[in-house]
Amino acid sequence: MTIRTTRTTASFSSPFTLQDLEGVQPAGEYVVLIDDELIEGLSRVAYRRLVTLFQTPAISASQRQTQSFSISQTNLDAALMKDRHQTIVMH
């Protein structure tokens, strides 16, 4: 089994909620880790999403202790779109 891990950041300009986390999270940049598994036996390279991990607190906050939460990529995408829409409307 071949697994690739991709590290990205999710940027929120306003406080936000994620369906998979309790409470309101502060605005900031958050580390997101994505693990995908190679699907073998196909004529082309393809991967299947295994997990999306969301790390708290935000990168700019104190890094003494971080926690990773398994979240839905769909819920993360929806929260990011909502944040961007709020930013556009406010400007």
Q: What does the domain layout of the chain look like in residue ranges?
A: 3-90
- pLDDT tens string 8-44: 999 999 999 999 899 999 999 999 999 999 999 999 9
Strand order in the sheet with 3-12: 3-12, 28-38, 47-56, 67-71
CA distances for 82 relative to 36, 46, 58, 89, angstroms: 26, 30, 18, 11
Q: Which residue has the tokens 């708290």?
A: 56
The 10s digit of each residue's pLDDT in 43-86 is 999 999 999 999 998 887 776 788 999 999 999 999 999 999 87
pTM of structure: 0.84
